[in-house]
Amino acid sequence: MSTMDFNAMDFVTPQIMHGPVLLGDGTIQWNVWVTRSDRVSLVLMDADHVVAEVPMECRGHGLFVSAPRKVSEEQRYGFRLGDGSVRPDPASRWQPDGVHKPSAVWSPDSFQWTDRRWKGIPRTDLVIYELHVGTFTDERTFDAIIPRLPALVELGVNAIEVMPVAQFPGDRNWGYDGVHPYAVQNTYGGPRGLQRLVDACHQSGVAVILDVVYNHFGPEGNYLNEFGPYFTDQYLTPWGSALNFDQAGNEGVRAFVLENVRYWVRDFHVDGLRLDAVHAIFDSSPCHILREIKEVADEEAARRGWPVQIIAESDRNDVRLLDKPEKGLGLDAVWSDDFHHAVHAFLTNERQGYYVDFGSASHLSKALNQSFVYDGVHSVFRGHSHGTKANQHSGDRFVVCIQNHDQVGNRTRGDRFGTILSPAKQRLAAGLLLTAPHIPMLFMGEEYGETRPFPYFCSFLDQQLVDAIRRGRTEEHAAEDSASEGFDPQAESTFDKATLGWAWPDDSHSAGLRRLYRDLLSLRRRWPVFRDFHNRRADLFPSSDSPQVLRFVRAATIPHAAGAMVAYFNMTGREQQSECAHHHESGLIFSSEASRYRGQRGPDEPVQSLLPYEFQIYGPTCWKQL
């Protein structure tokens, strides 16, 4: 038989579609990918009662399609599989009654957007504020965030990073146990509430980055494996089976995730995605799923007319995530946990877990100079060399923080810097973050020294799962050798404790700290030196062996260069002499111990030294007018 006898179409996989599609005539066509049943029916429901059941047509490779049908928004539906069970849509856009109940029809196009003039925020200008919808306000909804936007804008924030909102069991969860990756959490306000939030953010000049999870899905209410090979035991994550991106039947899984990326950009106008724990995304395919995520996001961004940032969370210190596609994955930015660990371990003296690799002032100077502290050097915690050199990439490719949901919430008591550090140390930490040549990210409440904890919480309905989580958290905290007793993650009181206080009374430390954050963020916006993410140098004095002062230069590599910013950080609890008071051709622009920040320096006190844990910023005196 000659090759001409083959039908080339036999080798073409049809486009695998997921979820309902609104057609031009107002009808809906449902699509579902099912490889583990040879027959599927669309089941329309009223509450839990079936009102119609229609067999779906199989078009090959597991794609089942319904005949177009006109229904109203909020119509409940599910899919009956070959074993007789009726399950929610894996690509459900709305689960108004929770993870176990039928899905509901929702039309994204019926929302009237008002952000036509929005052009986005360049990556180099981003100041990110991480928040959890359920604990950001007492109301615990998307709509309740909107009145808080002016306070964030006044602070200097221009992007919020929203922790995952994919539908999870119950009404309280960090969001990383979502099981309906397209459905927006019903208790937060559902998909329409998220659209209203994004639209209001854009009207306020604030970008929205959404935290998404493509390495695993949660355990309760997860029916995906009944539809097809969404998961593989070829790889394991800390949270269970990995998503199947490279084993048999992976085409439908890849299409499921890539359409999800399009969905957030197209239907919710988000400005970026933060990809959770990409080191737990496994793919040996010729084109890695992370690369395809970036390509799909860029395609939708081009249609929208503003940039979409793809930011990876990874603990591998692997610059291949950032390298150009010829040799890497070409993502926009990556989290650098090393910066957080260096600051935290130095200021708290904690050395448990991964903090054993940190704690010296030299780690801080290296994080400022080279972005990654562990860039191929030996890690005691891991027992091997760790990371790759990062200094070939500019600092704006790295997101850094001094607090975030993981680093606070995985502590036994969920305690923040507001309760474990002195006011002077909190100010010093803020200075390190906001002068660093990286993209800064604040964790909600950090800016005023929030003292309420942010512990892990959940509201699973499966009692066996609840018991397992309680045991796991107890064992994890016991391993910390902590004398503190942790909170019960399932208790509603644990969730209540995490709600922000949103209080910074006049003349309080909180008011002074927030003013310090606001003033530093104002400097970042106004001074051209903060747009230079390449030229920087951090040095320790008198030496790295006995450091007392860290000197940090931006926009130059020598402190006396014209137009350079020079910051001095007292790394001790003792007053220190330094060259800062005699810095020629520059003036003191900023002192963290000024009285306006509730520090110890009087308004007319001459600057002859650095007070304990004080930092000072020097630059051309004309900058004061910028």
Note the CATH number of domain 123-497.
3.20.20.80
Distance CA 364, CA 569 (A): 11
Identify whether the C-beta of residue 127 lies closer than 8 Å to the C-beta of residue 156: yes
Q: What is the pLDDT of residue 166?
A: 98
Burial class (CB in 10 A: 0-12, 13-18, 19+), 69: middle
Please state whether beta strands 180-184 and 240-243 pair in parallel, antiparallel, or not at all (unpaired): unpaired
Same fold, 13-110 and 123-497: no
pLDDT at 585 (0 to 100): 60
Name the catalytic one among 161, 199, 276, 315: 276
pTM for the whole structure: 0.96
Spatial CB neighbours of 432, under 8 Å, sequence gap ≥ 6? 343, 364, 368, 402, 569, 615
Is 313 an active-site residue?
yes
Cα–Cα distance, 279 to 272 (Å, whole number): 19
pLDDT of residue 8: 41
What are the boundaries of each domain within the chain?
Answer: 13-110, 123-497, 533-625
State the catalytic residue, choosing from 251, 313, 446, 519.
313
Quick one: pLDDT at residue 483? 56
The list of the chain residues with pLDDT below 70 reads: 1-14, 479-484, 580-585, 625-626
Beta bridge partners of 576: 610
Let me know if 199 is a catalytic residue.
Answer: no
Q: What's the pLDDT score for residue 479?
A: 65
Name residues whose C-beta falls within 8 Å of residue 215's C-beta, 6 or more positions apart in sequence.
237, 239, 242, 243, 276, 277, 278, 280, 281
Q: How far is CA 100 from the centre of its chain?
A: 27
pLDDT, tens digit, 9 for 90 and up, residues 171-222 = 999 999 999 999 999 999 999 999 999 999 999 999 999 999 999 999 999 9
Q: Is the peptide bond before 542 cis (omega within 30 degrees of 0)?
A: yes
Q: What is the CATH number of domain 533-625?
A: 2.60.40.1180
Q: Are 77 and 105 in contact (CB under 8 A)?
A: yes
CB 459: neighbour CB atoms within 10 A?
Answer: 18
Q: What is the pLDDT of residue 626?
A: 57
Answer left, alpha or beta for residue 320, where phi above 0 means left and psi between -120 and 50 means alpha. alpha
Predicted local confidence at residue 478, as pLDDT: 74
CA–CA gap between residue 203 and residue 185 (Å, rounded): 23
Question: Which superfamily, per CATH, for 13-110?
Answer: Immunoglobulins (2.60.40.10)
